[in-house]
Amino acid sequence: MPESSVKSVLITGASGGFGLEFAKQMEPAGYRLILHGRDKARLQMTLNALKHPDRHRLVQSDLNARHGLSELISSVENEPLAGLVNNAGFGIWGSFEQTGIVPQIDVIKTDLKAPIALAHALLPTLLRHNGFIINVSSLAGEYPLPYMSTYAAAKAGLTYWSEALRIELAGRMRIVTLAPGPSPTGFRNISGMPHSTGSFFRTPIPVIIHAGLLRLEKGGGYCIPGWRHKLLFAMQKTVPRRIGLGLIAGNMRH
Ligand SMILES: NC(=O)c1ccc[n+]([C@@H]2O[C@H](COP(=O)([O-])OP(=O)(O)OC[C@H]3O[C@@H](n4cnc5c(N)ncnc54)[C@H](OP(=O)(O)O)[C@@H]3O)[C@@H](O)[C@H]2O)c1
């Protein structure tokens, strides 16, 4: 592919976990990947894991810092963007009462505000390049989650916004709302959630990302990857809430 026809894809949170896997699975399509994160060393490891590191680019910015979002937006100003993968995110495990308000608001900034702001700023370019958006939400957005209440609220917001946008832009842009359950990324260590919680539903990272990209190929939509996550979703939708909430609280409390 001649260099001038190469289109770019911005992947937020590309320094590990799902972001790294998105990079690996999207590179063969010929995109120039703009790999975003905060940790330079780990971003460099993502770049080193790719087949054509020279084609791609790293961008560092903290989505919770005062100018982090605007710096990221201006850094891709001149890119022929055909894709935005809103993947960066984190959660905090613990009681609402005993968790500081600053990190909880930061969850909302990174997991909900940033994807919406990025999509809005980059929409004209994405539309011009017949592009797409993948919003990495969570099954946490399908059910209240005691001891991770703010995270679930942010992901519920992300899912609702992403699905509404998908319908608004139908026929003009493909949008995927990816809603995984537990998976072995760095997420648990950062959130502080005990490793045993929800372990039966844990699904390999490549399976999740492959399912999301397949959904994109098929024109976009809501995607619950793998049979374990589909089972979890079915339970969320069928177990009466008065029972389900108690079960989840017991499991999450530890
Ligand atoms: N793993 C799961 O069980 C699971 C399940 C459902 C949904 N998800 C969602 O999947 C997405 C990816 O998470 P992951 O599981 O791959 O976890 P991860 O391995 O911890 O990766 C999270 C990524 O987000 C970036 N990030 C976090 N806060 C940021 C901030 N303030 N500014 C810029 N970048 C930030 C991190 O960058 P640095 O490391 O450079 O700071 C990292 O690259 C998240 O949206 C998460 O909510 C995860």
Residue-wise pLDDT for 133-169, tens only, equals 999 999 999 999 999 999 999 999 999 999 999 999 9
CA of 15 to the centre of ligand 1 (A): 9
Question: Would you tell me how many other CB atoms lie within 10 Å of the CB of residue 24?
Answer: 17
Ligand 1 pocket: which of 11, 12, 18 to mutate (most atoms within 8 A of CB)? 18
Mutate to test the pocket of ligand 1, among 24, 38, 46, 137 (most ligand atoms within 8 A of CB): 38
N-terminal to C-terminal alpha carbon distance within the chain: 53
Closest CA to 185 of 203, 210, 197: 203
Q: What percent of the chain has pLDDT over 90?
A: 90
The per-residue pLDDT for 38 is: 98
Tokens of 115: 């994807």
All structural domains of the chain with their residue ranges:
3-253
- 64 Cβ below 6 A of ligand 1: yes
pLDDT, tens only, 164-174: 999 999 999 99
Counting from 1 in the atom list of ligand 1, the atom nearest the Cα of 88 is 24
Backbone φ, ψ for residue 99 (5° rounding): -100, 135
42 CB within 6 A, ligand 1: yes
The answer regarding whether domain 3-253 maps to CATH 1.10.260.40 reads no
CA torsion, points 90, 26, 37, 225, in degrees to nearest 10? 0
Contact 102, 92 (CB under 8 A): no
Confidence check: pLDDT of 1 > 80: no
CA distances from 129 to 7, 55, 125, 169 (A): 8, 19, 6, 14
Please report which confidence band the pLDDT of residue 194 belongs to, taking 50, 70 and 90 as the band edges.
confident
Q: What is the pTM of this model?
A: 0.97
Task: Report the chain's mean pLDDT, rounded to a whole number.
Answer: 95
Residue 11, pLDDT > 70, answer: yes
Mutate-to-test residue for ligand 1 from 40, 47, 90, highest number of ligand atoms within 8 A of CB: 90
What local confidence, expressed as pLDDT, does residue 76 receive? Answer: 97
